[in-house]
């Protein structure tokens, strides 16, 4: 059994392939055999398919075989098990394919939102280091030769250039170290601690909440499509949010549902969504088209996540670029002013 987990794109591709074959009327064991014949790259999925083929040939269900393979996320296993029990495996597979494809898209956007500022920080640190190590000393040496002593001459304010560069360099290094530590803790089981810190940035808090709501609506849509009861589907979907503030709101919605309210009414009363989204959910519930509305709502939330990430990058980019230009500009102005003074004196 493989220990390496399949990434979101791999899970999406597998679910889509299985969904198409189930839709075509191909039995599970035959579908897995076809997948085995189509994978000869020796990767983690091929190894898992071999294990799955053995399991289904022994009478195991698709969910049990996937669990035995050990490369699929728990959410996918749970959804497929429910779908098999309800006889709606095809719908569940296609929805899981879309869900993990959406997760891949959002992950790439978040990665770009972190990678670009990190690259800018490295560039700024490199430029400031060159300024301090090569440019400013060269000007200082020239003025030293001209005046004999920079500290006592009229050109001593060249030290302001050093001051600007050192302050900016220290700030940029602190930011870079903070970013590296945040990534380290995020990837080593300290995500909650990192989120508690970055949540103090309003736009970041909005991104985290929007992502939590996206994961909830997507999971709820899939649970309902698999035939799960509404109240159970909501409770099971809460754990997928991975966002404590959103979980608290959802728990209040569950409490209202226990009092006899529907999920749409509870979500509207607790302001779980923006008012326009809340009304969409109410309309979908009253018309009996809850799944379609959830599908549309999930797409809107995904788009909102992307827009918020783009807005964050749009703020960070000019901010870091401005810091670089202002620091270098002030430093160069400080070292050029003495030269201007000398030229005026000669003139």
d(CA 346, CA 43) in angstroms, rounded, equals 75
Q: Does 139 reside within a domain?
A: yes
Q: Does 93 reside within a domain?
A: no
User: What pLDDT score was predicted for residue 2?
Assistant: 45
With a CB cutoff of 8 Å and minimum separation 6, the contacts of 299 are none
What are the distances in angstroms from CA 96 to CA 19, 76, 237? 10, 7, 14
Q: Does 81 reside within a domain?
A: no
CB 195 within 8 A of CB 204: no
Backbone angles phi, psi at 121, to 5 degrees: -60, -45
Tally the domains of the chain.
2
13 and 118 belong to one structural domain = no
Asked if pLDDT for residue 150 goes beyond 60, the answer is no
Q: Residue 258's pLDDT band (boundaries 50, 70, 90)?
A: confident
Q: Residue 343's pLDDT band (boundaries 50, 70, 90)?
A: low
What's the chain's length in residues? 347
CB 157 within 8 A of CB 163: no
47 and 143 belong to one structural domain = no
- Note the pLDDT tens digit of each residue in 281-293: 888 888 877 878 8
* Chain Cα centroid distance, residue 161: 39
20 and 124 belong to one structural domain = no
Q: Does 162 reside within a domain?
A: yes
The CATH number of whichever domain residue 304 belongs to comes to 1.20.81.30
More confident residue, 341 or 154: 341
Q: Residue 153's pLDDT band (boundaries 50, 70, 90)?
A: low
For the chain, give the mean pLDDT: 80
The mean pLDDT of 250-262, rounded to a whole number, is 87
With a CB cutoff of 8 Å and minimum separation 6, the contacts of 85 are 227
Question: By residue range, what is the domain housing residue 18?
Answer: 8-72
Q: Residue 3's pLDDT band (boundaries 50, 70, 90)?
A: low
16 and 119 belong to one structural domain = no
d(CA 78, CA 96) in angstroms, rounded, equals 11
254 and 116 belong to one structural domain = yes
40 and 113 belong to one structural domain = no
The alpha carbon torsion through 275, 280, 286, 292 (nearest 10 deg) reads -150
The secondary structure element, H or E, covering residue 90 is: helix 89-130
Q: Is the pTM of this model over 0.75?
A: no
Q: Does 3 reside within a domain?
A: no
Q: Does 79 reside within a domain?
A: no
With a CB cutoff of 8 Å and minimum separation 6, the contacts of 35 are 14, 17, 18, 49
214 and 307 belong to one structural domain = yes
106 and 61 belong to one structural domain = no
Last residue in a domain, options 72, 90, 113? 72
User: What pLDDT score was predicted for residue 122?
Assistant: 87
User: What pLDDT score was predicted for residue 154?
Assistant: 47
Asked if pLDDT for residue 42 goes beyond 60, the answer is no
Q: Does 87 reside within a domain?
A: no
163 and 44 belong to one structural domain = no
45 and 118 belong to one structural domain = no
User: What pLDDT score was predicted for residue 262?
Assistant: 84
- Note the pLDDT tens digit of each residue in 169-220: 898 889 888 888 888 887 777 777 887 888 888 888 888 888 888 888 888 8
Last residue in a domain, options 56, 72, 88? 72
Spatial CA neighbour of 32 closest among 54, 10, 13 = 54
Spatial CA neighbour of 209 closest among 198, 222, 219 = 198
The mean pLDDT of 252-268, rounded to a whole number, is 87
- Note the pLDDT tens digit of each residue in 125-144: 888 888 888 877 877 777 67
The mean pLDDT of 274-300, rounded to a whole number, is 83
Q: Does 119 reside within a domain?
A: yes
129 and 189 belong to one structural domain = yes
User: What pLDDT score was predicted for residue 119?
Assistant: 83
* Chain Cα centroid distance, residue 35: 30
64 and 155 belong to one structural domain = no
More confident residue, 126 or 110: 126
User: What pLDDT score was predicted for residue 1?
Assistant: 45
């Amino acid at each position: 059994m493989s220990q390496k987990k399949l990434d979101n794109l791999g899970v999406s591709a597998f679910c889509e392939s299985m969904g198409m074959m189930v839709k075509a009327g191909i039995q599970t064991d035959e579908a897995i055999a076809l997948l085995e014949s189509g994978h000869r790259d020796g990767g983690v999925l091929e190894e898992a398919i071999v294990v799955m083929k053995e399991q289904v040939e022994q009478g195991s269900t698709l969910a049990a075989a996937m669990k035995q393979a050990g490369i699929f996320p728990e959410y996918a296993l749970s959804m497929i098990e429910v779908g098999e029990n309800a006889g709606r495996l095809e719908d569940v597979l296609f929805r899981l394919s879309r869900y993990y494809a959406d997760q891949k898209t959002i992950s790439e956007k978040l990665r770009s939102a972190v990678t670009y500022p990190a690259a800018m920080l490295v560039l700024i640190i490199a430029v400031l280091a060159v300024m301090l190590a090569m440019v400013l000393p060269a000007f200082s040496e020239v003025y030293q030769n001209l005046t004999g002593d920079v500290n006592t001459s009229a050109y001593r304010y060249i030290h302001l250039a050093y001051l600007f560069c050192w302050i900016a360099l220290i700030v940029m290094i602190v930011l870079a170290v903070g970013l590296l530590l945040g990534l380290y803790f995020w990837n080593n089981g300290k995500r909650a601690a990192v989120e508690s810190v970055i949540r103090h940035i309003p736009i970041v808090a909005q991104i985290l909440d929007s992502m939590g709501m996206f994961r909830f609506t997507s999971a709820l849509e899939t649970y309902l499509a698999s035939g799960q009861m509404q109240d159970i589907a909501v409770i099971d979907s809460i754990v997928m949010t991975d966002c404590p503030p959103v979980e608290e709101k959802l728990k209040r919605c569950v409490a209202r549902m226990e009092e006899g309210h529907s999920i749409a009414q509870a979500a509207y009363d607790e302001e779980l969504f923006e008012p326009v989204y809340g009304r969409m959910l109410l309309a979908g519930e009253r018309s009996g088209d809850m799944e379609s509305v959830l599908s549309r709502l999930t797409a809107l939330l995904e788009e909102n996540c992307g827009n918020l990430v783009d807005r964050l990058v749009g703020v960070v980019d000019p901010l870091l670029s401005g810091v670089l230009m202002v620091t270098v500009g002030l430093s160069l102005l400080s070292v050029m002013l003495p030269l201007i003074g000398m030229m005026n004196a000669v003139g």
